[in-house]
A and B are shown apart, each in its own frame.
Chain A
């Protein structure tokens, strides 16, 4: 079994701060200095987010193969669920599950909406989509390689049911960005 965080306390804190920073400033790309060496196909940044935030209280869904699931289970204790709509955390290492099928919470408890971690090919700040919303002074630009072609439409539908909704963490190697449900995406025209 590969190890998790080299320093479980301080590395979890650093990973959390990276996710918090990403969620508070959508479109910025955060790099993780101390991400664990997770088994493929789990990206180091995705592994760090799971180890920092998932535990026995967070039902988890993933498309990752058996060996990778074993590593996650060993280091987080999170129970796996087969149905994406039952998960509090989801890790998609290949195709992103449709956002409409995930837990969105209720109008009274929107915080029960899921957090979806999607592994993508690349995150390039300064190019691509024009992002606006809370956390952004004017606009951030971010190009994401590897999301489904209809992602902007799925995201618009997710934002339209606010305060219900799903929040997204995008992971590429040791880098991550986050899309809180308040984020608005304009495609480059």
Chain B
């Protein structure tokens, strides 16, 4: 079979209309980053309005993607619409670069956009993530794209979408406050260790996607641009850099992010968020960093220090 990348009809062939800017390795049978240009324009317009109205969900006409919902189609469409040939892409799934989901998405963009990919947070310009924010502080030149299964923070409390739109318009979040109050009264703490709702710039209640509460403080005044894409629900929202983001709480019960009280079994970190791993069928278990890049970096440092 002929290798399409090296075929003489490739983008750099004599007589090609456009100047050659195809990065190496891109499959020219796809439009750059897979999506057609009209779809990108629509998503790009939604992203700009999302940045202008921090935390507000913008509806968009989601396109069918070659991956099923639940694989991050909303995040993929956002990534596809912002990505350029000089970007370096990292994809994480619950903090790990090596899950099937993360590997598939990374390969998808390496093939359709020809972009460089990396597993190192420090090297990435665009990071697509499911359920975590990297441990390493992000920089101004980085963009974090969240895959969002359910963008509406009120959906368990108010199933009617038209009504949630009205409540957001009025900034009436008493339903969420009552729910939080009840959780605290019954359990002494908030029930939501994941996906704890946040107030963005003092105005919009927003779902941070199912990240652990441990990551919520990282949303606050982050130097990076944070973009959120929900494929099934067809919504895009954003938190601009340095925007105040506050986890919903009460003065006498301030939001307290949780972390398992152990060092990482691999790198010894006492600050990274940990996953509990079952090691055998007799109840053996260990705690390891959820962020595989941060763990490897810390393990490298610990090894060098020995």
Q: A108-B165, A182-B201 known; A23 and B48 CB under 8 Å?
A: yes
Write the B230-256 contact mask toward A (1 if CB under 8 angstroms, else 0): 000000000111110000000000000
Q: Please measure, in the bound complex, the distance between the C-alpha atom of A11 and the C-alpha atom of B59, giving whole angstroms.
A: 26
Chain B 22-36 interface residues, beta-carbon cutoff 8 Å to A: 31-32
B52 touches A7 (CB 8 A): no
Main secondary structure on chain B at its contact with chain A? mixed
A53 touches B44 (CB 8 A): yes
Please give the distance in Å from A65's CB to the nearest CB on chain B. 26
Contacts of B203 in A (CB 8 A): 162-163
A7 touches B47 (CB 8 A): no
Chain A 1-36 interface residues, beta-carbon cutoff 8 Å to B: 6-10, 12-14, 16-17, 19-20, 23-25
Q: Please measure, in the bound complex, the distance between the C-alpha atom of A163 and the C-alpha atom of B266, giving whole angstroms.
A: 47
The verdict on A94 contacting chain B, using a C-beta distance below 8 Å, is no
A52 touches B56 (CB 8 A): no
Contacts of B42 in A (CB 8 A): 57
Q: Please measure, in the bound complex, the distance between the C-alpha atom of A108 and the C-alpha atom of B54, giving whole angstroms.
A: 14
Question: Interface size class for chain B?
Answer: 35 or more
Chain B 51-72 interface residues, beta-carbon cutoff 8 Å to A: 51-54, 56, 58-59
Contacts of B49 in A (CB 8 A): 110-111, 113, 167
Write the A124-165 contact mask toward B (1 if CB under 8 angstroms, else 0): 000000000011110000000000000000000000001101
Question: Interface size class for chain A?
Answer: 35 or more
Please give the distance in Å from A2's CB to the nearest CB on chain B. 16
Write the A96-130 contact mask toward B (1 if CB under 8 angstroms, else 0): 00000000001111110101000000000000000
Q: Please measure, in the bound complex, the distance between the C-alpha atom of A108 and the C-alpha atom of B168, giving whole angstroms.
A: 7
> Which residue of chain A has its CB nearest to the CB of B42?
A57
Q: A14-B84, A24-B241 known; A8 and B51 CB under 8 Å?
A: no
Question: CB within 8 Å of A: which residues of B?
Answer: 18-19, 21, 31-32, 37-38, 40-42, 44-54, 56, 58-59, 81-85, 140, 165-166, 168-170, 201, 203-204, 221, 223, 225, 239-243
With A23-B240, A109-B165 known, 10 other A-B pairs at CB within 8 A are A52-B41, A58-B45, A106-B169, A107-B170, A111-B49, A115-B48, A134-B54, A162-B203, A163-B203, A167-B49
Question: CB within 8 Å of B: which residues of A?
Answer: 6-10, 12-14, 16-17, 19-20, 23-25, 52-55, 57-58, 106-111, 113, 115, 134-137, 162-163, 165, 167, 180-182
Closest 9 CB pairs of A and B: A180-B52, A107-B169, A111-B49, A135-B240, A134-B243, A134-B240, A108-B169, A167-B52, A137-B242
